[in-house]
């Protein structure tokens, strides 16, 4: 059985119990990764991080929660690397799983993936995200294993969010660790990872969910606050903000991106 790691803060005992009960009921073996609370990271450590690149890419301030999230997932990658694990699944403790996840884990093994696999497989978690309608999923590039279909995404990494449920290889974990030594990144910067050749192709399924109520999500609530407080992070961002405001008002922007997403589905 492929290892499953659940990223969770030690203090979140209720969440830990909920996800433990679920996974145990489906016969899924797992290990907890003790998540890092971004609010408790020393200021000296945060100040040493080169977060300007990430802030520029996101056009807003990077939150403490996002820093803690990245550190937490890097701990999971350390576990994969140190134990020479070919393939692993990483969940966050607020991921919503059902029997489909249990069947998936029980049916797959390392032989389903090439040893040099650099593809990344996201199990779902896009529900409630408005931009998910802009994700282009190829009609032709799809894979089926564990009873689930994974669709190759076409130039859509920028519209895919969250790190609540994904499967990655030893190679990808190693590359992510190497990248982290050179620059800071937010854990779900899939477009950056694609551009840096950390991952090859990104495949998306839809059998794990994320809560629609984000009030209990440490990361998501901080992101919303950051976005509302830093609408114009730079002059360039301010110009882009006004342009998008105009286009949004006429709905042209959404319609063009949605049309582009539909066309890209026919790419190989």
Q: What is the mean pLDDT of residues 21-32?
A: 98
pLDDT at 225 (0 to 100): 62
Q: Is the pLDDT of residue 265 over 60?
A: yes
Q: Which of 15, 24, 17, 14 is nearest to 4 (CA)?
A: 24
150/203 Cα distance (integer angstroms): 5
Residue 20 binned pLDDT confidence (cut-offs 50, 70, 90): very high
Residue 13 in tokens: 């005992």
**3-state SS of the chain: helix, strand, coil percent to 5?**
50, 20, 35
146-197: pLDDT as tens digits = 999 999 999 999 999 999 999 999 999 999 999 999 999 999 999 999 999 9
pTM of the model: 0.84
Q: What is the pLDDT of residue 168?
A: 96
- 104 Cβ contact list (under 8 Å, min separation 6): 123, 146, 147, 148, 207
What mean pLDDT do residues 81-98 have? 98
Strand partners, 169: 87
Residue 80 in contact with residue 86, Cβ under 8 Å? no
Q: What pLDDT is stored for residue 117 in this prediction?
A: 79
Give residue 263's pLDDT. 77
Q: If you average pLDDT over residues 232-240, what whole number do you get?
A: 61
% residues pLDDT > 90 (the chain): 73
Residue 113 banded pLDDT, cuts 50, 70, 90: confident
Q: What are the residue ranges spanned by the domains of the chain?
A: 4-264
Burial code (b: 16+ CB inside 10 Å, e: under 16) for 63-89 equals bbbbbbbbbbbbebbebbeeeebbbbb
In CATH, what is the architecture of 4-264? Alpha-Beta Complex (3.90)
Quote the strand ranges of 125-221, DSSP E. Answer: 137-145, 148-153, 165-169, 202-208
Distance CA 135, CA 256 (A): 13
Confidence of residue 114 (pLDDT cuts 50, 70, 90): confident
User: For the chain, what is the mean pLDDT?
Assistant: 89
- As a whole number, mean pLDDT of residues 236-254 equals 65
Helices (H) and strands (E) in the chain, counts: 10, 8
Q: Residues near 37 by Cβ (< 8 Å), separated by ≥ 6?
A: 9, 11, 68
> Whole-angstrom Cα distance, residue 212 to residue 230?
24
pLDDT of 226 over the 70 cut: no
């Amino acid at each position: 059985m492929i290892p499953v790691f659940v990223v969770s803060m030690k203090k979140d005992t209720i969440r830990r119990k909920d996800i433990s009960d679920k996974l145990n009921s489906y016969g899924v073996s797992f290990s907890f990764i003790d998540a890092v609370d971004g609010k408790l990271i020393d200021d000296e450590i945060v100040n040493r991080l080169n977060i300007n690149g990430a802030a520029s890419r996101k056009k807003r301030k990077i939150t403490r929660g996002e820093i803690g999230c990245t550190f937490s997932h890097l701990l999971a990658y350390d576990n994969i690397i140190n134990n020479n694990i070919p393939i692993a699944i990483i969940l966050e403790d607020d991921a919503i799983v059902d029997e489909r996840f249990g069947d998936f884990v029980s049916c797959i093994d390392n032989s389903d993936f090439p040893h040099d696999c650099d593809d990344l497989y996201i199990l779902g978690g896009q529900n409630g995200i408005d931009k998910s309608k802009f994700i282009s999923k190829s009609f032709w590039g799809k894979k089926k294993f564990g009873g689930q279909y994974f669709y190759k995404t076409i130039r859509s990494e920028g519209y895919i969010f969250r790190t609540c449920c994904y499967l990655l290889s030893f190679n990808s974990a190693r590359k992510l660790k190497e990248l982290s030594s050179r620059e800071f990144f937010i854990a779900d910067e899939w477009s950056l990872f694609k551009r840096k050749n950390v991952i090859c192709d990104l495949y998306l399924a839809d059998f794990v969910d994320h809560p629609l109520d984000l009030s209990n999500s440490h990361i998501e609530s901080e992101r919303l606050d950051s976005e509302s407080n830093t609408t114009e992070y730079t002059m360039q961002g301010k110009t882009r903000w006004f342009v998008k405001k105009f286009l949004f008002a006429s709905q042209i922007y959404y319609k063009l991106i949605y049309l582009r997403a539909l066309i890209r589905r026919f790419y190989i």
